[in-house]
Amino acid sequence: MSILYSPIKIKDIEIKNRIMMSPMCQYSAKDGHAKDWHLIHYGSRAVGNVGLIMFEATAVLPKGRITYGDLGLWTQEHVVRLKHITNFIKKQGSVPGIQLAHAGRKASLRLPIDGDGPLTAEQGAWQIVAPSAIRFGDNYQIPKELSICDIHSIQESFANAAQKAYNAGFQVLEIHAAHGYLINEFLSPASNHRNDEYGGSFENRIRFLMEIIDHVKFVWPDNLPIFVRISATDYIEESWDIEQSILLAKELKKKGVDVIDVSSGGLTPDAPVKYDFGYQLGYAERIHKEANIMTATVGMNTTAEQGETILRNDMSEIIVYGRELLRNPYFGLTSEKVVHENMEWPVQYIRAKI
Ligand SMILES: Cc1cc2nc3c(=O)[nH]c(=O)nc-3n(C[C@H](O)[C@H](O)[C@H](O)COP(=O)(O)O)c2cc1C
């Protein structure tokens, strides 16, 4: 009996298997609006038997976008287009989730296809914001330090977007607190030099995120799951690390967060990460065991056997596949051969099932 293909129930949502599609920016939206690309892209993974389809980082405000191609969720029109996609995903028996984000000092970048790095004024750069006026790297804009009033307004934007996400039919909400974006910038002492209640001590640095969870919980129904993606470590001295991540996970659990989606890095351009299968798994396992909370593990997961082994050893509850699902949208169907499970295929494709 495969655990990878066993259902998991989180609050009132049953996910048909433990395969989650990692949130991956498509840089294909216009003014934050989903396009045909998003319907086909996410729809194919639903046809391909992915249990939980986590939509890419979706900005809560126009200025919180990484690029002009990011999805956004700040108007009713955004809701209408996304609802069309979530309806299709649900019809295939998959669960649609959405990652809400604000890019902080890593906003206002060029589309990857135009070359990495910040937009110039001629290309339409906008004023970026962060907990402190410390830039991400050479050639990047120096962000404006957020006032207390700005902080509260951004927190409300997360709640507005969460309400819209619910209206758009999403059943799982993920808050993006990883990869050096705004929330991560508050968590990490390397990017947060504030002297007020949002900087300094661990309690102060996690306050921005904790209050976002409070705001979101006002509008997001109690019976639907909340995930938080974190970077377990910044990989730099005197900054955010796994010990603080475990403490944070304990606090998030008390607030009613269901799953910690465990990633790493992104706060600085030059973090010494060694990408290999399992490079983040140890962090997910420690958070799962020491904070006694469900985790989703991501990073170089490419096969069903890897997922099966992680689950059998109780290292994590959900296996997140990123680039493997870009290469193979039908991974969740074709890996059946590997784990010998007899699961349902879309009726349209049954004659291809051998
Ligand atoms: C094209 C692309 C876009 C990504 N966009 C996001 C994103 O929107 N949010 C996020 O948390 N991570 C993002 N990531 C990171 C992935 O979600 C994932 O954590 C990473 O690729 C490692 O998993 P993998 O080895 O299975 O691909 C992105 C990765 C790629 C390749």
**8-352: what fold?**
TIM Barrel (3.20.20)
Do strands 19-21 and 13-15 pair parallel, antiparallel, or not at all (unpaired)?
A: unpaired
* Closest CA to ligand 1's atom 15: 24
Which of 27, 42, 181, 235 is catalytic? The answer is 181
CA of 288 to the centre of ligand 1 (A): 21
Per the CB < 8 A criterion, the answer to whether 284 and 297 are in contact is yes
Q: Which two tokens stand for residue 230?
A: 């974190």
* Closest CA to ligand 1's atom 13: 24
CA of 149 to the centre of ligand 1 (A): 32
Q: 3-class DSSP state for residue 332?
A: helix
pLDDT less than 50: residues of the chain: none
Question: Where are the domains positioned within the chain?
Answer: 8-352
Q: Can 42 be counted among the known catalytic residues?
A: no
Q: Residue 201's CB: how many other CB atoms inside 10 A? A: 10
Task: Name the nearest CA neighbour of 184 among 141, 152, 229.
Answer: 229
The type of residue at 162 is A
Phi, psi dihedrals of residue 126, rounded to the nearest 5°: -120, 165
Query: DSSP label at 226?
Result: E
* Closest CA to ligand 1's atom 11: 23
Pocket test for ligand 1, best of 20, 21, 22 (most atoms within 8 A of CB): 22
Condensed to tens digits (0 to 9), the pLDDT of residues 235-269 reads 999 899 999 999 999 999 999 999 999 999 999 99
Measured CA to CA in angstroms, residue 178 lies from 5, 100, 256, 266, 304 at distances of: 28, 11, 19, 7, 26
Task: Name the nearest CA neighbour of 178 among 167, 170, 186, 190.
Answer: 186
Q: For position 338, what pLDDT does the model report?
A: 72
**Is 0.95 topped by the overall pTM?**
yes
Atom of ligand 1 nearest to the CA of 298: 23
Distance CA 216, CA 46 (A): 27
Atom of ligand 1 nearest to the CA of 66: 8
* Closest CA to ligand 1's atom 3: 24
Exposed / middle / buried, residue 300 (Cβ in 10 Å: 0-12, 13-18, 19+): middle
Q: 3-class DSSP state for residue 145?
A: strand
The dihedral through the CA atoms of 17, 19, 20, 21 has a sign that is: negative
CA of 179 to the centre of ligand 1 (A): 10
Distance CA 100, CA 170 (A): 12
Tell me the residue ranges of DSSP E strands in the chain.
8-10, 13-15, 19-21, 52-59, 71-72, 95-101, 129-130, 144-145, 172-177, 226-231, 259-263, 294-297, 318-321
Distance CA 89, CA 92 (A): 5
Place of tokens 């070359």: 115
Per the CB < 8 A criterion, the answer to whether 70 and 27 are in contact is yes
Per the CB < 8 A criterion, the answer to whether 205 and 241 are in contact is no
Q: Residue 150's CB: how many other CB atoms inside 10 A? A: 12
The type of residue at 19 is I
CA of 267 to the centre of ligand 1 (A): 15
Measured CA to CA in angstroms, residue 171 lies from 94, 96, 98, 237 at distances of: 10, 6, 8, 38
Buried residues in 44-63 as b, exposed as e (16+ CB within 10 A): ebbbbbbbbbbbbbbbbbeb
Q: For position 93, what pLDDT does the model report?
A: 97
Pocket test for ligand 1, best of 19, 21, 25 (most atoms within 8 A of CB): 25
* Closest CA to ligand 1's atom 31: 323
Helix (H) or strand (E) holding 219: helix 202-219
CA of 229 to the centre of ligand 1 (A): 11
Ligand 1 first shell, C-beta below 6 A? 22-25, 56-57, 99, 176, 178-179, 229, 263, 298-301, 321-324
Condensed to tens digits (0 to 9), the pLDDT of residues 76-132 reads 999 999 999 999 999 999 999 999 999 999 999 999 999 989 999 999 999 999 999
CA of 24 to the centre of ligand 1 (A): 5
Do strands 95-101 and 71-72 pair parallel, antiparallel, or not at all (unpaired)?
A: unpaired
Atom of ligand 1 nearest to the CA of 112: 1
Q: 3-class DSSP state for residue 138?
A: coil
Per the CB < 8 A criterion, the answer to whether 312 and 264 are in contact is no
Q: For position 273, what pLDDT does the model report?
A: 85
Phi, psi dihedrals of residue 205, rounded to the nearest 5°: -70, -30
CA of 245 to the centre of ligand 1 (A): 20
Pocket test for ligand 1, best of 20, 21, 24, 275 (most atoms within 8 A of CB): 24
Q: For position 272, what pLDDT does the model report?
A: 84
